[in-house]
């Protein structure tokens, strides 16, 4: 059974590299506070951190830089992400920049979230190319929620598949494959665990 499990895992990795499969991943952090008043104040700070996307750039020298733009591609500073806004994601190193677009936002009494999908660069003429290492069907949801005196933060990745085929990949097919594999192997955990810790005020 163990040998079969290893074979199945290898087969899944091959399918991922060939663009024939997708992966779902979730990263989370939580912290419990001593009382209702402290929890309420901490949750309000968590929501502020969630919406302040530009501040995510300061988590670590090894994490990505995030910049928020409106639906016309104009920079937004100190603003809450809105549906159809864009976020530019610049990963450290020589990799090309990546773009996502906000597809959904929600803020309620007990939880808040927004969802993004890979997109084109809004500063370029419209085309079929997706300027991201994941294909257009991938989704990432960033969420903070409160249950009693516990606050939990999530990065929920769904339908993650490599953007490797034309015309969607443009000239980035090979680079996207490398970036996606590095992300799955270790970089996503570094990036999103830093973020979820930050959102629930866990000191690194």
Task: Look at residues 96, 112, 93, 115 and name the one whose alpha carbon lies nearest to residue 104.
Answer: 115
The more confident residue out of 16 and 128 is 128
3-state secondary structure of 97: coil
> Which distant-in-sequence residues (6+ apart) come within 8 Å of 10 by Cβ?
none
pLDDT reported for residue 170: 92
Q: Are strands 65-69 and 23-32 parallel, antiparallel or unpaired?
A: unpaired
Query: 42 pLDDT band (50/70/90 cuts)?
Result: very high
For the question of whether the overall pTM of this predicted structure is more than 0.85, the answer is yes
Residue ranges of domains in the chain, CATH in brackets? 22-199 (3.30.530)
Window from 20-24, 45-49, 110-114, 199-203 with minimum mean pLDDT: 20-24
H/E stretch holding 156: strand 150-160
Report the C-alpha gap between 173 and 42 in whole angstroms. Answer: 42
Report the C-alpha gap between 162 and 176 in whole angstroms. Answer: 7
| Cβ atoms within 10 Å, residue 58 | 11
| Cβ atoms within 10 Å, residue 79 | 14
Query: 16 pLDDT band (50/70/90 cuts)?
Result: low
pLDDT reported for residue 135: 95
End-to-end CA distance of the chain: 39
Tokens representing residue 106 in the block: 């929600």
């Amino acid at each position: 059974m163990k040998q079969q499990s290893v074979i199945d895992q290898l087969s899944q990795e091959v399918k991922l590299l060939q663009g024939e499969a997708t992966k779902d991943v979730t990263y989370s952090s939580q912290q419990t506070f001593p009382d209702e008043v402290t929890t309420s104040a901490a949750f309000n700070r968590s929501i502020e951190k969630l919406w302040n996307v530009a501040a995510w750039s300061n988590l670590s020298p090894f994490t990505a830089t995030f910049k928020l733009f409106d639906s016309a591609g104009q920079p937004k500073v100190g603003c809450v992400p809105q549906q159809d806004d864009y976020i530019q994601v610049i990963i450290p190193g020589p990799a090309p920049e990546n773009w996502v677009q906000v597809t959904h936002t929600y803020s309620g009494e007990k939880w808040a979230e927004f969802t993004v999908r890979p997109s084109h660069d809004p500063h370029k003429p419209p085309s079929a190319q997706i300027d991201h290492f994941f294909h257009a069907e991938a989704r990432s949801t960033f969420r903070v929620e409160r249950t009693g005196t516990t606050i939990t933060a999530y990065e929920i990745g769904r339908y993650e598949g490599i953007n490797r085929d034309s015309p969607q990949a443009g000239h980035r097919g090979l680079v996207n494959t490398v970036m996606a594999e590095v992300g799955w192997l270790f970089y996503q955990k570094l990036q999103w665990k830093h973020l979820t810790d930050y959102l629930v005020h866990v000191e690194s």
